[in-house]
Structure 1
Amino acid sequence: MPTTEESIIAAARLRAAYRGENEALAAASALEALAVLKKTLKGDKYQEALERLYIEYSIS
């Protein structure tokens, strides 16, 4: 299953909750990162970047 923007936002919120940080700010930051990726990458490169970002939020 491909990584989606929604799953990245959810992972950012979960990481923030785990760290005791503000979940809304984490989601906003993730949205900003997604906007930059969407603006600069297309197709497979965009999907690969989404997957890397999801992993970053999941393991950190």
Structure 2
Amino acid sequence: MADGPWYWCLDHEAVEPVDGCPNDRRLGPYETREEAQDAIARARARTEQQDAIDREWSGED
């Protein structure tokens, strides 16, 4: 198996090596394949957390 860096491809919803899709269509780089695999879940969790902060700040909650 090739060494990193690894990326999460937004188009293919899969982990890719450095020779993958263009960088504007993926998240990363990550040191390990496992980190790349979890990238979208971490991004979603951060977005949800920030959305909650924004709602609280604007008085929606």
Q: TM-score, normalised by structure 1?
A: 0.37
Larger radius of gyration: 2
Structure showing the higher strand proportion among its residues: 2
Structure showing the higher helix proportion among its residues: 1
